[in-house]
Every structure is written in C-alpha cells, then in structure tokens.
C-alpha cells in the first residue's frame, strides 16, 4: 500500500507503543506521513519513537500529548486521512487500582477522537484497538483439563474459538472502559456514518514489545527467563490464549483501513486462532527449550477477570479482509526471544543464546 496521490498524514494514537509503532512503521515504509500521538508515559516507549524517526526521518511527526487533551488531539486530527486509535490504559490491574483514570483514558480519550473526526467535513476512517476482555471471564464456557492446558468441551468452540456473536459481558474497570469505547466506535459508525471498525484482540506479541507482568505477558515471560529471574504464574498456568505475531496484527489493521467500505461498522475478533492456542505452561516449556535452561516459576492466586480460555474465531476477519495465515507461535516466539536478547546485548546480537534458539530464530 503506497501513499498514492493523497499526501495527508495518518494519525496513530499510542503510536510509540508496541502495536502502534509497528503500524506506524508499516505506514511510513509505504510512503505515508505518520503523526505519532503519544504521551510517552509507558517506560521504554521513547525508544520506539526514536526507532521510528531513525528509520523514516521526516515521515514521522511526533506529537507528545495525552489522549485526554481534547484541543491537542483535535489539532492533530484536523487534516489526517485516517486514524488508528491504539492509545489506551492497557492493564487490568491498573484499572482496579485507579478506575477513574482508566475511564478517562480509555473512554473519554476515545470519545475525544471520535468527536474530532465526526466534526470533519469529510468522512475519516478510524480503526479502533479493542480487546477480548469485552466478553468477560467466559465462565460459562465448559472446560476440561487435557495435558497441560484447558480445552472446551463443546467441539465447535474447541475447533473454531469464540466468535463475534458472543454476548458482551464487561468485567473489571478495564473491561468496562474498553468495552464502552468499543460500543461508542460502533455507534458513531451507525449514528453519524463515521467509517469505523473495531478489532477485538487476543494476545499480540512481537518485536518492540516492552512486556510487563500486567501487560504483554509473552514478552514479559521471555524477559524474565533471559534475565534468569522467576516468572510468576497467576492461577494454575493451564489457562489458554491464542497468541498472534504483531506482523499479522498490523496486516489486519491496514486491511481494515484499505477495506473500510466492507469493515466499517463491524467488530472483528483477532488472535492466532486454534492453531496458535497455547497455555502459559506450554509457553514456559518452549522458552526453556529456547534458552537452554529451566525457568524458575512462582505461584499466585487467580487475578480478577482472568479468562481460563480465550481463542479467537478469526473467520469473519479473514473472510472480510483476506488475511495471510498467522505466523506459527513457536517460530514467532523464537524471533521475539532473539530480538529481546539482541536489545539487551547489542554486542552479542548474532549470539542470541543457545544453539537451539539461534537455529529456530533463523528459520
């Protein structure tokens, strides 16, 4: 996708964050000017912004501001040809400790952007980053333990995952704020004709991810293991997520923009699907293979709203947007491990750990 004859910029809110910077990178690589709107409050994201500017120079226009600053946001959005709304408070734990801030960032901030675009003379496409947490804890999905993971008893759910017909059921302040924002985006498409689509993501991982215990758990597990520090498992570790490489997520966001006539007014589940469904225990075992040593695991109780099982049924997104197959999770995790090790030891960027890790990362 090239910029073509439209020289107006694209706005990426949260554009220095993990997924946002990867979207900005792909846009700039195709010749688009990108406004990277980010408050830079998350530790480490300034490195992502530096990376974007080093790679793309004048095509990257940073705006260091809060999504709750309505005037700054409206000014940033006044001439853009499209917007990707990635800015958010992203941790369930933070939403529980400060629900008001979670609300103002995730809901008020989203409304600020929607109104800025609604007031434009021409329709401006927006693609919104939502979450699988809009479906609640999925406590009614009957599960059984099979080996080192939970699997659904229902063969259809087991084979395909959770689709968009699943009733919404917001749990935790984070689920409420993101879920309400999700619904506002869809209603602005319905009530005002705003060309808007919603992407309800499962667990995305990949390069440029600064994972923490509260958000970005795949990278967090890898970082702890690489640094030979213990990993804390909340719950029993049999819980399952369908993890997806960020390259596939970026493809989905760009495809939703390119095909906004088909995607507008709709919400799509996005994850790795059943083929990339992995339990926390399975991921730790794979990490041990990659780094060539055992990982120390500590245990804590379940956290509020934690789903024991979520795998996205991605058929709607694939049928509508024509997406490529997902990167196999073992391959993608090995690539992330290699990137994380290189980030932590630039002088050893070619020596990414054990021979097994190096071989798989090169695959």
- The answer to whether 201 touches 90, Cβ cutoff 8 Å, is no
242 φ/ψ angles, rounded to the nearest 5 degrees: -100, 105
- Residues whose CB is less than 8 angstroms from the CB of residue 219 and which lie 6 or more positions away in sequence, other chains included: 205, 209, 210, 211, 336, 340
Q: Any catalytic annotation for residue 174?
A: yes
Q: What is the CA radius of gyration of the chain?
A: 20
Residue 70 to residue 113: CA distance in whole angstroms? 8
Measured CA distances, 309 to 176, 306, 323 (Å) = 19, 9, 24
Of these residues, 174, 184, 188, 309, which one is catalytic? 174
- The answer to whether 210 touches 132, Cβ cutoff 8 Å, is no
H-assigned helices in the chain: 18-29, 45-56, 70-77, 92-97, 99-103, 109-118, 155-160, 172-192, 217-226, 246-258, 260-263, 280-291, 315-321, 329-344, 355-362
Could you tell me which of 261, 266, 316 has the C-alpha nearest to residue 125?
261
Could you tell me which of 194, 170, 221 has the C-alpha nearest to residue 333?
221
- Residues whose CB is less than 8 angstroms from the CB of residue 202 and which lie 6 or more positions away in sequence, other chains included: 132, 241, 242, 243, 244, 269, 270, 271, 272, 310, 311, 312
Q: How far apart are the first and last CA of the chain?
A: 27
As annotated, the active-site residues are 174
């Amino acid at each position: 996708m090239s910029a073509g004859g439209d020289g107006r910029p694209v706005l990426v809110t949260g554009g220095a964050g993990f997924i946002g910077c990867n979207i900005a990178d792909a846009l700039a690589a195709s010749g688009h000017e990108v406004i990277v709107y980010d408050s830079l409050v998350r530790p480490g994201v300034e490195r992502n912004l530096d990376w974007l500017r080093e790679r793309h120079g004048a095509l990257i226009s940073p705006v260091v501001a809060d999504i709750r600053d309505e005037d700054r946001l409206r000014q940033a959005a006044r001439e853009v040809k499209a917007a990707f709304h990635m800015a958010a408070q992203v941790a369930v734990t933070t939403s529980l400790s400060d629900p008001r801030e979670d609300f103002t960032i995730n809901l008020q901030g989203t409304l600020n952007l929607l109104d800025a675009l609604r007031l434009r003379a021409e329709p401006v496409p927006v693609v919104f980053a939502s979450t699988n947490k809009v479906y609640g804890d999925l406590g009614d999905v009957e599960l059984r333990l099979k080996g080192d993971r939970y699997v659904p008893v229902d063969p259809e759910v087991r084979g395909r995952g959770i689709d968009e017909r699943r009733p919404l059921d917001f749990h935790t302040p984070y689920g409420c704020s993101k879920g309400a924002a999700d619904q506002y985006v869809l209603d602005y498409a319905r009530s005002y004709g705003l060309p808007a689509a919603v992407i309800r993501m499962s667990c995305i991982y990949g390069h440029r991810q600064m994972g923490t215990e509260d958000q970005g758990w795949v990278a967090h597990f890898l970082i702890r293991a690489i640094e030979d520090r213990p990993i804390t498992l909340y719950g029993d570790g049999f819980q399952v997520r369908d993890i997806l490489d960020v390259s596939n997520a970026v493809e989905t966001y760009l495809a939703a923009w390119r095909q906004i006539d088909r995607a507008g007014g709709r919400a799509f589940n996005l994850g790795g699907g059943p083929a990339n469904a992995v339990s926390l225990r399975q991921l730790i075992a794979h990490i041990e293979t990659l780094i060539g040593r055992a990982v120390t695991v500590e245990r804590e109780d379940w956290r509020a709203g934690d789903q024991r099982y979520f795998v996205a049924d991605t058929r709607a997104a694939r049928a509508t947007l024509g997406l490529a197959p997902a990167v196999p999770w073992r391959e993608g995790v090995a690539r992330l491990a290699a990137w994380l090790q290189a980030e932590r030891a630039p002088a050893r960027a070619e020596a990414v750990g054990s021979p097994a890790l190096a071989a798989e990362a090169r695959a």
